[in-house]
Amino acid sequence: MPELPEVETIRLDLNSDLLNKKITFLDVLSVKTLKNGKAFFVKSLLNKSFSEINRRGKLLIFKINNDDNYLLIHLKMTGQLVYFNNGKSIAGGHSIFSEKKTKKLSLVESLGGELPNKHTRALFYFQDGSQLFFNDLRKFGYLRLVKKSALDDLIKKNYGPEPLGDDFNSNYLFDKLKNRKRNIKSILLDQKIVAGLGNIYVDESLFSAGVLPDRIANSLEFEEVDVLVKNIKRIIKLAIKYRGTTFRDYRDAQGRSGSFSKFLKVYGRESEKCLNCEAKIEKKKLAGRGTHFCLICQK
DNA sequence: GTGTTTGTTATCAA
DNA sequence: CTTGATAACAAACA
């Protein structure tokens, strides 16, 4: 599922390729995917172009040239942004197929054939012939146009610091934890506390920090919080470097493919042997999520 | 038919 | 008011 590193990878790719290209055609195939009225949405974007693409947590923020509105795109669990330009393709987000199944497939095949397909919820055509598809199997993702003031309000209200920001540090997190009785995993999943972590990176960070996911927040010593923060930053940086875990682009010929999957130490390794000790990786449900951990390495 | 997958919000309870 | 826990959303797969 796209978390911060996957969304950041998409952002960087799109930023280098589709800025300032006029939108010559767009269509919304699933009205439910829009948070605005369709007519307003189409009218607001047609013949416009994006001047920059930013990100806050897992939310993509497209700035529009000469316009007050911003286009927000959230991929939620199964959203993808697929960009085609001159035969080269860039895909981002969650694949609807498992990794094993997609390995031998081309991009188009992995998406189930030609685009748009039955999961395409919106599409953009640009002046140079390039195309952007928003696919979302489960329809949790959305596209939304908002004014600057509304954008500022919703970010202030819903988003804590970026994990790689200087304002996300040991003192900050320790302060957030000291009066909380929730488990540490649910705290780290809370976007208001730190914006961008999801199930995979929380499990990985807690494992590397040696902290059990069901530890009560206020039971963590400062030293443990310090180690946790350092590991979150390290893992998020590494995951961005390797273009994310669920992200797959198919430009292997250009040598730009890469995946963080090979660095995963606990996520998806239920009942396999721990990479640090001889114990088996445990899995249980916590905070409503599949949660992976090692009983020996994490205290 | 059942359980599982998870980002975010709504809802309810304490 | 705050906090925390859980259901709901949706679709596909094992």
pLDDT tens figures, A140-171: 999 999 999 999 988 988 999 999 999 999 99
- Range among A51-55, A110-114, A178-182, A256-260 with highest mean pLDDT value: A51-55
Pick A92 or A119 by higher pLDDT: A119
**Strand C closer than 7 Å to the CB of A137?**
yes
- Quick check: A29 CB within 7 A of strand C? no
Distance CA A111, CA A260 (A): 21
Contact flag, residue A140 CB and nucleic strand C, below 7 A = yes
For residue A50, list its beta bridge partners: A64
CA angle A288-A289-A294, nearest 5°? Answer: 125
Comparing A295 with A97, the larger pLDDT belongs to A295
User: For residue A27, what pLDDT band results from cuts at 50, 70 and 90?
Assistant: very high
Q: Is residue A127 within 8 Å of A199, Cβ to Cβ?
A: no
To the query of whether residue A278 is one of the catalytic residues in this protein, the response is no
Confidence of residue A95 (pLDDT cuts 50, 70, 90): very low
- Clarify whether A213 is annotated catalytic: no
Going along chain A, which residue ranges are E strands? Answer: 23-28, 50-56, 59-64, 69-74, 79-85, 88-93, 120-126, 131-136, 142-147, 282-286, 289-293
**Active-site residue flag, A2:** yes
The pLDDT of residue A41 is above 70: yes
Type of residue found at A211? V
Closest nucleotide to A286, Cα to C1': C5
pLDDT at residue number A78: 86
pLDDT at A196: 93
Residue A114: the pLDDT is 76
- Which is the catalytic residue, given A55, A58, A121, A243? A58
Query: Is the CB of A298 less than 7 A from some atom of nucleic acid strand C?
Result: no
Q: Which residue has the tokens 């055609």?
A: A25
- Rounded distance in angstroms from the CA atom of residue A202 to the C1' atom of nucleotide C7: 22
The C-alpha atoms of residue A273 and residue A279 are separated, in whole angstroms, by: 6
A251 touches strand B (CB under 7 A): no
Task: Give the whole-angstrom CA distance, residue A49 versus residue A27.
Answer: 15
CA A220 to C1' C4, whole Å: 18
Q: Which nucleotide is nearest to A2 (CA to C1')?
A: B7
> CB of A197 within 8 A of CB of A163?
yes
Is A116 considered catalytic here? no
Helices and strands (DSSP H and E) totals, chain A: 9, 11
A243 vs A125: CA distance, rounded Å: 25
Distance A270 CA to C11 C1' (A): 24
Q: How far is the CA of A73 from the C1' of C4 (A)?
A: 29
Q: What is the mean pLDDT of residues A28-46?
A: 92
pLDDT for the residue numbered A259: 74
